[in-house]
Amino acid sequence: MADQDVKDFLTAWNLQQYIPVFEENDIDIKTLLFLKEENMIKELIPSVGHRARFISNLEDWRAIINSGMPNTSNVSNTITDSHTSSGSLASSSITVEDNCSFQTLDNSDLSQILSPQTFEGNTFSNTVYLQLEELLIKENSSTSQDVSDAQPFNSELLDLLKSANAGRGLLATYLKSGLLDSIGRKRLCNIIINKELQDDVHRKVPSSRLQDLAYQITTIFNKEHTATYFIPYNISYGPGLKRAAKGKLLDCLYNKRRDYRKSGLISPSRNSSTSSSEHSSPIPLPEALRSLDDKTEDNEALIEDNLNWLQNSSDPWNIVENKWITTANTRLKKLMSQDSPTIAEYMAQFPSLRKPAGYTLIFKDFDVAYPGFSDRLYQSLPLCKNKISELATEKINKSKDLSTNQLLKEYVQLSSEALIVKTKLLMFLKLIINIIVIFVNLIFLNNINDQTIENEDISNLAVLLCLPFLIGVSISKGKKAKLQWRPSKVEMRDGFITHVLSSAEVQETISRRRDKLVGLGQTLQPFVLIVGSSLKEISSYFVVIDNTFYRLNSIISAVDCCFKIIITLNANYPSESEAVWYFIQKGLYKLNTPLDKNFTAVNAFLSDVGITI
């Protein structure tokens, strides 16, 4: 009969259809380690593809096990224990040789296990592992017994449990009831993690160590499962898919570190990051967050569990969304606190944010923090487009800057052409509909509709690209920079929307821009990047956050996404295009926050466009 650990691993490896086969062949967690022969595995898993996946994951898991287990070969130890029973002295001597594993004790040996004087000295230091369920040593035994057929083990965890009252209590409870409850598991993890961090609260506990500890737990408490306590990151859940590490030991480790940070034992660090916010100052909470009640103790426990889950998992997506919503208030208040994480730290903390749909989670947070503002850009931009185009035309007529005029002419012409084509298409569509009442060529109409949307997007792009040339340039100074930086109009544009001709140029463009900003004492903030051979033929719209790329379907959705990410994560706008973003925030979203900067150029442009705030 396959045990629960084997079932968990097969499910994790997306091979759950073979669980009945493993049960039929009595493959448990111990025999799983010794499945090395190709023919043996072939009998269990006939499919070549599935077998390859199984072998790959099995080797990964076996490597983790082996890296954490001590070498117990050629061990020879003699253990002598004695204790008094019913007023008489009985002794037993056991010789352990070669690849020995563990003694097993029953309730009659409880006094030995729980006694701090038991196995004093070096004879039992690192070689004998006690299992508590079976009895091989009787009180009146005085003979030596060879247990070399048992598996190798480590007595480290048992020694730890015997050394403290809490640990001895767990052993006693297990002997009495035969299992650990949720409280017992939590206490067990606390004992282990406290020991791991007692000498250095900053110590990094590797996956191999956590895997070894989980294995030791199941050897002492043999009804527990390793998957309960730790599943390493590098176990594949299918072709090309990975899952974050998880388990009670890892959760306990995270909780301890968080407690240490709160108490000041661990100082919150601000590691340099390409997407740090320099770092943003904490802001007074938005009204929507201030109005939310503080959580009760029961809710806090649930939220803590959900946060731990989100920090370790990113599937299934419906569960991610549910847990994301329930933790929104807690996460948003943290983002706006004094020790808020950088963008890079926050993205690393929650793996679901690095998925293609990760931006939708930030949208949910934006709706919580700023309800009613979600669709403002889509509503406001169409109302301002004509006026912005008119202002661009006036700028061309007044300005003597040839390079600026040339770019503005291109954008204005692009916008005008797109609007003309859109108008003609709509008129033609209306005419067709009026003439053809019953027999409508749906495919033809769909093609017209697609062209209308495409031209609308070109028009939006052209108008948005005009903004950096119409709003005055702001002077930027990084915290580490000695000189002020006055970005050019082109630099303002690229800090807002960067256009590359092909996907091959993306990484080089980002690296070059990041290096330039570092030299100026600035950091690379989220920005919009578009790919296409020309502005009329844009194939991809991205929002770039450090090494994460969110793909959107239009320029207006990309700008909307970028804005919501910056404002929700309490980040700074890109320094080159800060004034442009403030126009979008105040003029198009009509959103104000307590720490907004006041730009004269932005206020003037708002008046020019006819927007009152």
For the stretch 232-265, pLDDT in tens is 754 444 334 445 667 889 889 888 888 887 777 7
Token pair for 328? 């929104």
Give pLDDT tens digits for 399-430. Answer: 777 777 778 888 888 777 765 544 444 555 55
Token pair for 425? 């298409």
pLDDT at 102: 36
Work out whether the CA dihedral 150, 153, 157, 160 comes out positive or negative.
positive
Helix or strand holding residue 217 (H, E): helix 207-220
Number of neighbouring beta carbons within 10 Å of residue 591: 18
* Residue 316: cis peptide before it, omega within 30 degrees of 0: yes
Helix or strand holding residue 531 (H, E): strand 527-532
The residue among 422 and 200 whose pLDDT is bigger is 200
Average pLDDT of the chain, as a whole number: 74
SS3 166: helix
pLDDT at 77: 37
Asked whether the beta carbons of 425 and 448 are under 8 A apart, the reply is: yes
The angle formed by the CA atoms of residues 104, 109 and 114, to the nearest 5 degrees, is 105
Give pLDDT tens digits for 494-550. Answer: 999 999 999 999 999 999 999 898 888 888 999 999 999 999 999 999 999 988 999
Residue 472 clears pLDDT 70, i.e. is over it: yes
Cα separation of 249 and 131, whole Å? Answer: 21
Residue 16 clears pLDDT 70, i.e. is over it: yes
Asked whether the beta carbons of 98 and 73 are under 8 A apart, the reply is: yes
pLDDT at 155: 72
Residue 468 clears pLDDT 90, i.e. is over it: yes
Lowest mean pLDDT among 6-10, 70-74, 290-294: 70-74
Cα separation of 223 and 129, whole Å? Answer: 16
Lowest mean pLDDT among 107-116, 261-270, 329-338, 551-560: 107-116
| CA 354 to chain CA mean position, Å | 7
The residue among 125 and 3 whose pLDDT is bigger is 3
**CB neighbours of 596 closer than 8 A, spacing ≥ 6?**
582, 585, 586
* Stretch 122-147: mean pLDDT: 34
* Stretch 291-312: mean pLDDT: 73
pLDDT at 175: 84
The residue among 270 and 211 whose pLDDT is bigger is 211
Residue 53 clears pLDDT 90, i.e. is over it: no
* Stretch 139-148: mean pLDDT: 32
* Stretch 96-100: mean pLDDT: 34
pLDDT at 365: 95
- The DSSP-derived string for 74-138 is TEEEEEEEEEEETTEEEEEEEEEEES--EEE--GGGHHHHH-TTTT-SSTTSSS-EEESSS----
Q: How many CA atoms does the CB half-sphere of 119 hold within 13 Å?
A: 27
pLDDT band at 103 (very low <50, low <70, confident <90, very high): very low
With CA atoms as reference, report the closest residue to 331 among 355, 362, 359.
Answer: 362
The residue among 111 and 41 whose pLDDT is bigger is 41
Lowest mean pLDDT among 56-65, 77-86, 211-220: 77-86
The packing angle between helices 248-263 and 207-220, to 10°, is 120
The residue among 112 and 591 whose pLDDT is bigger is 591
pTM for the complete prediction? 0.55
Give pLDDT tens digits for 168-186. Answer: 889 888 888 777 887 888 9
Number of neighbouring beta carbons within 10 Å of residue 191: 19
pLDDT at 431: 56
Token pair for 16? 């759950």
pLDDT band at 134 (very low <50, low <70, confident <90, very high): very low
Give pLDDT tens digits for 322-355. Answer: 999 999 998 998 888 777 888 888 998 999 999 9
Cα separation of 128 and 111, whole Å? Answer: 18
pLDDT at 145: 35
- The DSSP-derived string for 281-336 is PP-PPPHHHHTSPPPPHHHHHHHHHHHHHHHH---SHHHHHHHHHHTHHHHHHHHT
Highest mean pLDDT among 54-58, 188-192, 196-200, 454-458: 188-192
| CA 112 to chain CA mean position, Å | 46
CATH top-level class of 4-68: mainly alpha
pLDDT band at 578 (very low <50, low <70, confident <90, very high): very high
With CA atoms as reference, report the closest residue to 465 among 549, 558, 365, 354.
Answer: 558
Token pair for 597? 């900067």
Cα separation of 251 and 109, whole Å? Answer: 33
- Residue carrying structure tokens 């720490």: 595
For the chain, percent of residues with pLDDT exceeding 90: 29
Residue 201 clears pLDDT 50, i.e. is over it: yes
Three-state helix/strand/coil letters over 355-386? CCCHHHHHHHHHHHHCCCCCCHHHHHHHHHHH
Which amino acid appears at position 539 of this protein? S
For the chain, percent of residues with pLDDT exceeding 70: 70
